[in-house]
Amino acid sequence: MTKVIGLTGGIGSGKTTIASYFRELGVPVYIADDGGKNVMQTEEVTDQIKTIFGTGIFDNNVLNRGKLADIVFNDKDELEKLNAIVHPAVKKDFEKWLEQHKNFDYVVYEAAILFESGRYKECDVVITVTAPEEVRIERVMKRDSNTKEQVLNRMKMQWNDEKRISKSNFVINNNNLKIAKEEVVEILKILNIKQNRS
């Protein structure tokens, strides 16, 4: 049976970069954020979002993700309402994807809120990616054109590294990408993953 490696880390930790490296090494990767974007375009999910958040966050019937982010990243209760809609849909999407990759020994499930959502319980192994807070803030400000305050608000909504690490099997420090990649290779050796298996 295919084993699931849960890959997580706070915003700006560079977990998507690490996920890409797993993919380069032949391990299939599911990015929960991409899965979330896909399911949020389905009629079933958009109807639920309209019911809870109203039609004001839609422009010509298309969800304005920026408007939605302004609501949910400033209010924990609103974020929980959104997660209650999106998480079950992503779970279903991942299960379908997993079925398509069942001939692999391991796959990676990359999610920012792996612990917060409780999905870590469904993973065989969990890896947390870390980086110094200032580095993370700088990366996100540059990547998303956010203010420092916006980044800090999003960080507040997530678990801190200490809490994540306490529940993880492995930790990758992504301050130096070359060293981080070496750590990925080391983890693969420990897990004895047969790479590039089709």
On whether the CB atoms of residues 127 and 19 are closer than 8 A, the answer is: no
Which tens digit of pLDDT belongs to each residue from 34-85?
A: 999 999 999 999 999 999 999 999 999 899 989 999 999 889 899 999 999 9
pTM of the model: 0.88
Instruction: Give tens-digit pLDDT for 105-133.
Output: 999 999 999 999 899 999 999 999 999 99
Domain ranges within the chain, ordered by starting residue:
1-28+106-189, 35-100
81 annotated as ligand-binding: no
C-alpha distances out from residue 109 to 18, 90, 127, 139, 189, Å: 12, 11, 10, 22, 19
Residue 13 is labelled as binding a ligand: yes
Superfamily (CATH) of domain 1-28+106-189: P-loop containing nucleotide triphosphate hydrolases (3.40.50.300)
- Is 12 labeled as ligand-binding? yes
Find out whether 145 is annotated in a ligand binding site. no
Residue 16 counted as an annotated binding residue: yes
Instruction: Determine the Cα–Cα distance for residues 59 and 77; give it in Å rounded to an integer.
Output: 24
Q: Which of 128, 131, 130, 124 is nearest to 116 (CA)?
A: 128
* The CATH homologous superfamily of the domain defined by 35-100: P-loop containing nucleotide triphosphate hydrolases (3.40.50.300)
